[in-house]
Amino acid sequence: MKVTFLGTGTSQGVPFIGCDCAVCTSPDARNNRLRTSVLIQSDTTTVVIDSGPDFRQQMLRQGVKKLDAIVFTHGHKDHVAGMDDVRAFNFHDQKAMQVYADLQTQEVLKREFQYVFQNLNYPGIPQVDLNTIDGYNSFKINDLEFLPIRVLHYKMEVLGFRIGDFTYITDANYIELEEMNKAKGSKGLVLNALRYQDHPSHFTLPQAIDVATAIGANDAYFTHISHQLGLHNEVEKTLPQGMHLAYDGLSLEF
C-alpha cells in the first residue's frame, strides 16, 4: 500500500493570505501546504481521504487518473469543499463516485451540494453514491479495509481511520483510550499538529508528540500544520526519533 500526502496544511493553507512571515515567504517547498488530504493506493484500489478546496489541484499535481472512492473524516469546509470536482472521474469512468461518510457528514454534503442530491438530472453535475460509515464497524473498499477511529474535534466527533498498518487521524484534540488502542501496532501514524500554542479543537505539536508516544507506532507524521508552527526544517530537527513533519507530496510504503 502506498500513502501520499496531498495536503498537510490547516484550513487556510500555507502560505496564509496576506502574511509575510518567514514560513509564508519561504522558498522551501515543504513550507507550502495545501489543505489536508491523503491518497491511499493499493495494487487495485485508489482512495482519497477528504476532498478539500484544493482537491482539483491535488489530483492534477499527483497525476491521479483513477479514483475509486472518497472517504470523509467530517464535514468542515476544508475537508469537503472540492467534492464537485469528482465530475472529471465521472466522465472518464462513466460511473458514480463512491463516497463514504457518517450521517453527520452526509447532512453537510447534502446541504453544501444540494444540486447533486435533488434528482434534477441536470447535465454535468457530479454523480455520487453515498455509503454510510457508522463509526463502530470496519468497511471495505475493494481490497482496502478501513477501521473507523472516533475522535473529538472540540465537541464534534470526527473519524480517523486505520487501514492495515497505517493510521490516519486529523482534526482531533482528544482521543479516548479505547479508540487510541485501535491505532496501536501501526507502522505509520498520522496526527494533526497545528502549532505550539493551545487551540480549542486541534492538538498542539507537544500534545501530538505525547499521543504518538502513547500509541507507539514505528513512525509518526504530523499534518494539518499552520504557518504558526514554524519552518519545516527547523521544527523537524526538534522532533523525537521516529517522528516527522509531513509535507505535500511525501509518499510512504506499507
Q: For position 220, which CATH number holds?
A: 3.60.15.10
CA–CA separation, 5 and 38 (whole Å): 5
Predicted local distance difference test score (pLDDT) of residue 120: 77
Please report how many Cα atoms fall inside a 13 Å half-sphere around the Cα of residue 96, on the Cβ side: 10
At a CB cut-off of 8 Å and minimum separation 6, what does 248 contact?
A: 5, 6, 7, 8, 9, 29, 30, 32, 33, 34
Q: In this predicted structure, what is the pLDDT of residue 139?
A: 98
Residue 114 pLDDT = 95
Q: Are 128 and 116 within 8 A, CB to CB?
A: yes
Give 17's strand partners.
Answer: none
Residue 86 lies in a domain: yes
Structurally, the chain folds into a number of domains equal to: 1
Residue 222 domain flag: yes
Does residue 72 form part of some domain?
A: yes
**What tens-digit pLDDT sequence spans the chain (254 residues)?**
999 999 999 999 999 999 999 999 999 999 999 999 999 999 999 999 999 999 999 999 999 999 999 999 999 999 999 999 999 999 999 999 999 999 999 999 999 999 999 987 788 899 999 999 999 999 999 999 999 999 999 999 999 999 999 999 999 999 999 999 999 999 999 999 999 999 999 999 999 999 999 999 999 999 999 999 999 999 999 999 999 999 999 999 99
Is residue 60, in this structure, part of any structural domain at all? yes
243 found inside a domain: yes
Q: What does the block give as the cell for 83? A: 467534492
Which helix H or strand E contains 170, and what residues bound it? none
User: Facing residues of 192 across strands?
Assistant: 223
Supply 155's cell numbers: 465537541
Q: Is residue 51 part of a domain?
A: yes
Q: Which of 57-68 are b and which e, b meaning 16 or more Cβ less than 10 Å from the residue's Cβ?
A: ebbeebebeebb
Cα angle: 61, vertex 67, 72; to 5 degrees = 95
Q: Does residue 121 lie within any of the structural domains?
A: yes
Q: What confidence score (pLDDT) does residue 123 get?
A: 85
Listed in sequence order, the residues at least 6 apart from 181 whose beta carbon sits closer than 8 Å to its beta carbon are none
Domain range for 101 is 2-249
Q: Is residue 254 part of a domain?
A: no
- Any idea what DSSP says for residue 240? P
> pLDDT at position 121, please?
77
Residue 14 near residue 247, CB atoms below 8 Å? no
